[in-house]
Amino acid sequence: MTFRMTGDQKEIRDQILRICAQFDDDFWLDRDRNGGFPHELHRAMADGGWLGIAMPEDVGGSGLGITEATIMMQAIAESGAGASGASAIHMNIFGLNPVVKFGTDEQRARMLPPLIAGDQKACFAVTEPTTGLDTTKLKTMAVRQGDRYVVHGQKVWISTAQVADKMLLLARTTRLEDVINPTEGLSLFYTDLNRDFVDVREIEKMGRKAVDSNEVFIDGLPIPAEDLIGEEGKGFRQILHGLNPERILVAGECIGIARNALARAAQYAKERVVFDRPIGQNQGVQHPLAQAWARVESANLMVMHAAALYDAGEPCGIEANAAKLLAADAAVEATEAAQITFGGFGYAKEYHVERLVREALLFRIVPVTPQMLLSFIAEKALGLPKSY
């Protein structure tokens, strides 16, 4: 059993790489130094019809699968855009999946086309400062008042909130102490990010400066009842429908980052001459890069396997989590090997690999830590007792 791209999938990859070729290393170096959301890439992807690659055709999407979306995201990262380019796009792919799955026809028609057209941007507001990945302990409250909900609370590590028009928000509509099962009483909303009631504060961070991460403080945000997605109190189950695609897509982006780093290192190793020979002739340089390549391509098989399972409607939680674990680890190893190949120049921004090192490390941590991935795999794949 193997994975080979079909002719159509190869064409998707080629078209994405052609779009990304408009944004060269200098473009991403400037974004890494100075920040600023890559609106130009976002617009180019929208104009090409790619933002709705996995959205239904009846709302203007392409109706393709997570496999094709992963190929697309992998190509964006591999082009040299890395996490900065990929993170500007991937919310479109996984974030609104609960709207696709649980939204009414009216909601889908109202909410999805502006996102696909690139006229709106959305952020994904789930994580809170005191709860981390313990989602059932969220404290943000949405209280029903007539034909609207009023929300108070705080979120953290919310990407693109500086530029977003919309917010996919998970909040409690029933207090934790009033439910029998802690997964109950959480509700999902897709609504305007109204800055009269929402204070967005950017977090200065190690990498991916082009795509902002934020603390979000919500004080009395009114949400129309028609912006509730699905049944009230069932938001936890709804949000799960976006998590496996997210892990698969991020894993694909890790593969793209790693491939770009290895390509840069191999080219440099062929050109850099020390002691009258290219350094790439030395096994001490060759072997770490070859080892990294093998692990990257092995991880990619798990990524594509997980994507294929998802698209077939089969259970894929174990495979999606394993794909993210393996691909992130492979990307960290590959970018480090690439940086060391460059020697001292690997520490210089103008050679770009140090940016890829930082961005690979980000995806090793988010959206879920390797420890949580291992705990999930231990429980679900090996039948060991739940550890958290």
Residues 287 and 215 in one domain: no
- CATH number, domain of 92, equals 1.10.540.10
Contact 184, 155 (CB under 8 A): no
Nearest to 52 by CA among 3, 119, 103: 119
Residue 315 lies in a domain: yes
Listed residues 116, 140, 161: the one ending a domain? 116
Residues 259 and 374 in one domain: yes
Q: Which domain holds residue 376?
A: 237-382
- CATH number, domain of 284, equals 1.20.140.10
Please state, as a whole number, how many other Cβ atoms lie within 10 Å of the Cβ of residue 339: 20
Residues 182 and 272 in one domain: no
Listed residues 232, 266, 297: the one ending a domain? 232
Residues 250 and 377 in one domain: yes
Residues 27 and 154 in one domain: no
Preceding omega of 114 cis (within 30 degrees of 0): no
Cα 348 to Cα 273: distance, rounded to the nearest angstrom: 19
Cα 176 to Cα 139: distance, rounded to the nearest angstrom: 9
pLDDT at 1: 64
- pLDDT profile of the chain (388 residues), mean per 10: 89 98 97 96 97 94 96 98 96 87 96 96 95 91 98 97 97 96 96 98 96 98 98 94 92 98 98 97 98 98 97 96 98 98 97 97 95 97 95
For 57, which DSSP code?
Answer: G
Nearest to 125 by CA among 175, 53, 199: 199
Contact 77, 16 (CB under 8 A): no
Count the residues in the chain: 388
Cα 296 to Cα 361: distance, rounded to the nearest angstrom: 15
Cα 350 to Cα 281: distance, rounded to the nearest angstrom: 24
Residue 322 lies in a domain: yes
Residue 227 lies in a domain: yes
Residues 220 and 248 in one domain: no
pLDDT at 95: 84
Residue 388 lies in a domain: no
pLDDT at 142: 98
Residue 155 lies in a domain: yes
Listed residues 116, 131, 148: the one ending a domain? 116
Residues 16 and 88 in one domain: yes
Residues 132 and 218 in one domain: yes
Long-range contacts of 312-321 (CB under 8 A, 24+ apart): 316/244, 316/248, 317/244, 317/376, 317/380, 318/376, 318/377, 318/380, 318/381, 320/243, 320/244, 320/245, 320/247, 320/248, 320/251, 321/247, 321/368, 321/373, 321/376, 321/377
How many folded domains does the chain comprise?
3
Residue 1 lies in a domain: no
Residue 212 lies in a domain: yes
Residues 127 and 110 in one domain: no
Residues 190 and 315 in one domain: no
Cα 17 to Cα 75: distance, rounded to the nearest angstrom: 6
Q: What tokens does 161 get?
A: 């909130």
Residues 12 and 29 in one domain: yes
- CATH number, domain of 156, equals 2.40.110.10
